[in-house]
Structure 1
Amino acid sequence: MATSWNGLSSVLPEESYMTLITALAFTVLWLLWSISSYFRCRNRLPLPPGNFGFPVIGQTVEHLLALRTADGIRQWMQKQVDKHGPVFRYRFVGYPMVMMSQPEGNKFIFQNEGLSNHIFWPSHISTMFGPHAVITQSGERHKLVRCHLNRFFDRAAMGRYIHGVNCNAIRHFTNHWQGKEQLVALDIINFFTGSCVCNLALSLEEGPLMYRILEETQTWIGGLYCLPINLPGFRYYKALKARGSIFKLLDGLMEQRRQMIAEDHVPEALQNDILNSLLTVPDEEGNLRQDSFIKDNLLILLFGGYDTSSVTLAMTIFYIAKNPHVYEQILQEQKLIVDGKCSSGENENALTMEDISAMKYTWGAIQETLRLHPVLTGSYRKTVTDLEYEGYHIPKGWLLNWNSQHSHYNPKYFKDPFKFDPSRWEKRPPPFTYLPFGGGVHLCLGYEFARMEMLIFIHHLVRNFSWSLVDPSYDGPIIRDPLPRTKDRVLINVKRVIAS
Structure 2
Amino acid sequence: MLNQQCRFRHAGIYKAFMFGNPSVIVTTPETCKRILNNDDAFKPGWPTSTMELIGKKSFVGISHEEHNRLRHLTAAPVNGYEALSVYTQYKEENMKSALEWANMEKLEFLTQFRKLTFMIIMYIFLNLESEHLMEALEKEYTVLNYGIRAMAINFPGFDYYKALKARKNLVGVLQSIVGKRRNQKKGYRLTKKKDMMDSLLDVENQNGRKLSDEEIIDVLIIYLNAGHESSDHAMM
1:134 corresponds to which of 40, 59, 83: 59
Give the drift of 1:97.
2.3
**Residue of structure 2 aligned with 1:302, choices 221, 224, 228:** 224
Cα distance in structure 2, aligned partners of 1:164 and 1:108: 46
Distance change (3 Å), C-alpha of 1:107 and 1:166: farther
Which amino acid is 1:297 matched to? V
Q: How many residues align?
A: 230
Partner of 2:91: 165
Question: Where does residue 138 of structure 2 map in the other structure?
Answer: 214
**Equivalent residue number for residue 469 of structure 1:** none
Which structure: greater strand fraction?
A: 1
For the 8 Å contact 2:59–2:67, the answer to whether it is kept is yes
Q: What's the secondary structure of 1:120's corresponding residue?
A: coil
Gaps of 5+ in 1: 1-45, 51-82, 315-500
Match of 2:175 among 251, 257, 275: 251
Cα pair 2:73 2:204 within 8 Å, conserved: no
Q: Which amino acid aligns with 1:194?
A: F
- Would the alpha carbon gap of residues 48 and 312 (structure 1) be closer, same or farther in structure 2, given more than 3 Å must change? farther
Matches within 5 A, 1:386-401: none
Measure, in 2, the Cα distance between the counterparts of 1:302 and 1:96. Answer: 27
DSSP-derived class of the 1:199 partner? helix
Deviations 1:285-341 (A, max 9, x none): 322211111111111112122233223433xxxxxxxxxxxxxxxxxxxxxxxxxxx
Give the counterpart letter for 1:308 in structure 2. Answer: S
Instruction: Specify every segment of 5 or more residues in structure 2 that has no aligned partner in the other structure, as ranges.
Output: none
Kindly state the Cα deviation for residue 248 of structure 1 after the two structures are TM-superposed: 0.9
Question: What amino acid is the match of 1:49?
Answer: R
Q: What does 1:263-342 align with in structure 2 at a 5 Å threshold?
A: 263-264=187-188, 266=190, 268=192, 271-314=193-236
SS at 1:182's partner residue?
A: coil
Q: Is the partner of 1:221 in helix, strand or coil?
A: helix
Q: Deviations over 1:207-262 (max 9, x none)?
A: 11111111100011111122222222222111111101001111121122112211
| Conservation of the 8 A alpha-carbon contact between 1:219 and 1:242 | yes
**Partner Cα distance (1:196, 1:255) in 2:** 22
Q: TM-score, normalised by structure 2?
A: 0.83
Query: Is 1:88 aligned to 2:13, yes or no?
Result: yes
Following TM superposition, by how much is the alpha carbon of 1:196 offset from its aligned partner in structure 2, in angstroms? 1.4
SS of the residue corresponding to residue 119 of structure 1 reads coil
Paired AA for residue 215 in structure 2: F
Structure 2 counterpart of 1:99: 26
Cα distance in 2 for residues equivalent to 1:88 and 1:258: 50
1:259-279 deviation line (CA, Å, top 9, x unaligned): 2211537584xx152211221
Describe how 1:39-188 pairs up with structure 2 within 5 A: 49-50=7-8, 83-85=9-11, 87-93=12-18, 94-95=21-22, 97=24, 99=26, 101-102=28-29, 109-110=35-36, 112-113=38-39, 115-152=40-77, 154-156=79-81, 157-174=83-100, 177-188=101-112
Shift of 1:198: 0.8
Residue in structure 2 matched with residue 14 of structure 1 by the alignment: none
Q: Secondary structure at the match of 1:205?
A: coil
Q: What does residue 260 of structure 1 align with?
A: 184
SS of match in other structure, 1:223 = helix
Equivalent-residue separation in structure 2 for 1:131 and 1:288 (angstroms):
17
**Residues 369-397 of structure 1: CA distance to partner in whole angstroms, max 9, x if unpaired?**
xxxxxxxxxxxxxxxxxxxxxxxxxxxxx
Distance 1:272 1:49, change over 3 A: farther
How big is the alpha-carbon RMSD for the aligned residues of Structure 1 and Structure 2? 2.8
- CA distance in 2: counterparts of 1:202 and 1:120, whole angstroms: 29
Normalising to structure 1: TM-score of the pair? Answer: 0.42
Judged with a 3 Å threshold, the aligned counterparts in structure 2 of structure 1 residues 232 and 182 are, in CA distance, closer, same or farther, namely same
Q: Please give the alpha-carbon distance, in whole angstroms, between the structure 2 residues aligned to 1:47 and 1:288.
A: 51
